[in-house]
Structure 1
Amino acid sequence: MSVSVLSPTRLLGSVSGLLQVAFLLTLVLLLLKAAQLYLRRQWLLKAVREFPSPPSHWLFGHIQEFQKDQELQQFQKWVEKFPCACPRWMWGSKVILVVYDPDYMKVVLGRSDPKNHGSYRFLAPWIGYGLLLLNGQTWFQHRRMLTPAFHYDILKPYVGLMADSVRMMLDKWEELISQDSHLEISEHISLMTLETIMKCAFSQKDSIQTDRNFFYQNDIIYWLTPDGRWSQRACQLAHQHTDRVIKLRKAHLQEEEELEKIRRKRNLDFLDILLFARMKNGSSLSDKDLRAEVDTFMFEGHDTTASGISWILYALASHPQHQQRCRQEIQSLLGDGASITWDHLDQMPYTTMCIKESLRIYPPVPMVGRELSKPITFPDGRSLPKGV
């Protein structure tokens, strides 16, 4: 009988050999990655060579150019110095061509390039892959399905519902302003726009503005949880709220009287269109797709609208002479009428111009991102290759 014992020397030699192999393999992979990044950077430098920009660090890009809370001011300096567009290096192998010329934008937005995944993916946990984040054929399918929800015959009755929600908000303001000379309006406007879209697009009957189980603060939705605690987990609560809205509407559609009434309607609300698409063809819209479209329409819709309204009021307050002209125009239009109607909307040219100008200066969505699916040539002859 013989016993073979592995000596400590041989054991250490085996471990050392494995470490050497692992080290060499890691080194080779790092060198390959470095070469890949170098070649990518060289390609990008060549791609944007026609567009001048401030000097950038080979690794950190323009990060040192943008101090905290000074990004907009820095961009304004670039806009004045570099016409039409300017490359911004995020890091060594990542560059974005920032376009701020209207004629340039027309060329980009007139094409069907996909959305830039890197710029939009951070929204996915919040609103899912609905119309805002979808691309290609799936986007066209969803858009075609939802187009009837934006028919004028559907939108006209919404003006009255919007006016009711605004009136409720103004009544609250009158009460609050009697207690304090200052009032933070943006949070109230957010609740008002959320209530409006809930009533118009999702057939919600109750008022969000008076719901004690729900409030909005610092751009976060707070919801009273079953254990009686206020939670501020924004994404999770947004999904819970969406699920609740869908569940309630499904329950209504299961009632024969309500279902028949819906079927007799010539035009359907946003959520009814989605649910009927499911009823006609169960495979047309998954539960995940359904929630993503509702999340996108509800939260992106009300939040951007609230931001736009808040900045419009700020802009008017900053320019009293324009505010007074808007007030006079609306007062002369309404006369003794209690509220604005659909027919009034195209009879307010000066107010409309002020709204559009405010949206130009303070856009709720200040940028969109695209990734070129084919080369592009701009009006001044400068061009970019596919992939930028």
Structure 2
Amino acid sequence: MGGAASSSSVVVSACLSTPTLFALARTAAAAAFSYASLRTLLAYVRWRTSPLRLIPYGPRDSSFLFGQLRPILREPFMGPHKRWISAAPSDAPLLSFSQLFGTWTVMLLDADIVREVLTEPPVVVTTTATATADPPRYTKGILGPVLTETLGDGLITLEGADWSRHRRIVQPAFQTRPLRERLGECVPRRTMEVVRAWRIAGPDRSIDLASHMSALTLDVIGDVAFSHEFGGVEKIREWAAASASSAAAGRRGSGDENENENDEQEQEQEQE
């Protein structure tokens, strides 16, 4: 009897809890819809009242929902951006445009502003106890964590003081003088490697000059900028070796034919 009463109470409780679950689900769905509607309304208000909208340069025929996302996706890479830059005055410091759900984006056109964004150190607030840095003024937005998960820590993903430290580390590799010195060493060496390959191929071999120059340029860029061997000149060497082997085989075949002709002539003379 006790077991039967217990099982019946469980069934009754389950039956009674079903409407409650539906009510909770409806309440949760209504709350989620209300939250999404409120966020959308706030995003629309920000889109309409953002000071970035007052920037006089850039497209303004944008919808809140898609902004300029459609031309950006449909046209060639950076096509809309180049058109907007061309439409702006030559001294325009920046332009703005909106994207998905009214998100405003600013393009920097002035070199001084770009320099400030890339090189301005974080503001350090010094107190009697410690010295702390303010949060970075220029961040990567919501894509920052996604990029960090995908690419790891680097110049593309870091921000603030960490970004400044990494940039100082790699900066010497992109200065004019070291690049000029490395080019002065790399270009003659790589060029002589190509010339030697041409000599190995032989004087009668035709050369695809455009292809060889592209391979040479690729190897120079790899050496100077990335310390990486792309193997362009190595492919030219392989082509030269194959050309030399083919020419040698042709000469041997020609020599055999001449010997056969001489033998035939000698046999004819003996028969006469």
TM-score norm. by structure 2 comes to: 0.54
Match of residue 40 from structure 1:
43
The DSSP-based 3-state class of the residue aligned with 1:92 is helix
Measured in 1, the distance between the counterparts of 2:80 and 2:169 equals 42
Structure 1: stretches of 5+ with no match in the other structure: 213-388
Measured in 1, the distance between the counterparts of 2:163 and 2:216 equals 33
The DSSP-based 3-state class of the residue aligned with 1:178 is coil
Of 124, 148, 154, which residue of structure 2 is paired with 1:130? Answer: 154
Cα contact 2:69–2:99 (8 A) shared by 1: yes
The DSSP-based 3-state class of the residue aligned with 2:191 is helix
The DSSP-based 3-state class of the residue aligned with 1:87 is strand
Of 107, 113, 135, which residue of structure 2 is paired with 1:98? Answer: 107
Deviations 1:251-281 (A, max 9, x none): xxxxxxxxxxxxxxxxxxxxxxxxxxxxxxx
Q: Give the alignment of 1:12-91 within 5 angstroms.
A: 12-47=15-50, 48-52=52-56, 53-66=59-72, 68-70=74-76, 72-83=78-89, 84=92, 85-91=94-100
Deviations 1:169-188 (A, max 9, x none): 7549967x935476386566
Aligned CA distance change for structure 1 residues 147 and 82 (closer, same or farther; 3 Å): closer
Measured in 2, the distance between the counterparts of 1:196 and 1:181 equals 22
Aligned CA distance change for structure 1 residues 123 and 146 (closer, same or farther; 3 Å): same
Measured in 1, the distance between the counterparts of 2:173 and 2:141 equals 27
What residue identity is the alignment partner of 1:19?
A: F
- How many residue pairs are counted as aligned between the two chains? 206
The DSSP-based 3-state class of the residue aligned with 1:26 is helix
The DSSP-based 3-state class of the residue aligned with 2:74 is coil
Q: 1:144: how far off?
A: 5.0
Match of residue 162 from structure 1:
186
Q: 1:39: how far off?
A: 1.4
Cα contact 1:56–1:89 (8 A) shared by 2: yes
The DSSP-based 3-state class of the residue aligned with 2:24 is helix
Q: 1:14: how far off?
A: 1.9
Match of residue 293 from structure 1:
none
Q: Which has the larger radius of gyration?
A: 2
Measured in 2, the distance between the counterparts of 1:25 and 1:141 equals 46
Cα contact 2:72–2:80 (8 A) shared by 1: yes
Measured in 1, the distance between the counterparts of 2:174 and 2:72 equals 41
1:193 aligns with 2:221: yes
Aligned CA distance change for structure 1 residues 76 and 160 (closer, same or farther; 3 Å): closer
Q: Give the alignment of 1:237-386 within 5 angstroms.
A: none
What residue identity is the alignment partner of 2:85?
A: V
Q: 1:73: how far off?
A: 3.6
| RMSD of aligned residue pairs (Cα, Å) | 4.4
Cα contact 1:89–1:95 (8 A) shared by 2: yes
Q: 1:192: how far off?
A: 3.5
Measured in 2, the distance between the counterparts of 1:156 and 1:103 equals 25
What residue identity is the alignment partner of 1:49?
A: R
The DSSP-based 3-state class of the residue aligned with 1:88 is strand
The DSSP-based 3-state class of the residue aligned with 1:41 is helix
Q: 1:54: how far off?
A: 2.6
Measured in 2, the distance between the counterparts of 1:77 and 1:197 equals 31
Q: 1:193: how far off?
A: 2.0
Q: Which structure carries more relative contact order (alpha carbon 8 Å, separation 6+)? A: 1
What residue identity is the alignment partner of 2:163?
A: W
Measured in 2, the distance between the counterparts of 1:151 and 1:49 equals 37
1:178 aligns with 2:232: no
Cα contact 2:62–2:98 (8 A) shared by 1: yes
Q: 1:32: how far off?
A: 1.6
Q: 1:28: how far off?
A: 0.7
Measured in 1, the distance between the counterparts of 2:83 and 2:208 equals 40
Aligned CA distance change for structure 1 residues 198 and 111 (closer, same or farther; 3 Å): closer
Q: 1:38: how far off?
A: 2.3
Of 99, 109, 116, which residue of structure 1 is paired with 2:140? Answer: 116
What residue identity is the alignment partner of 1:46?
A: T
Identity of matched residues, %: 17
Q: 1:97: how far off?
A: 1.8
Q: 1:96: how far off?
A: 0.4
Measured in 1, the distance between the counterparts of 2:195 and 2:146 equals 37
Deviations 1:51-86 (A, max 9, x none): 253322221122233452335343343334445333
TM-score norm. by structure 1 comes to: 0.41
Cα contact 2:66–2:101 (8 A) shared by 1: yes
Match of residue 269 from structure 2:
none
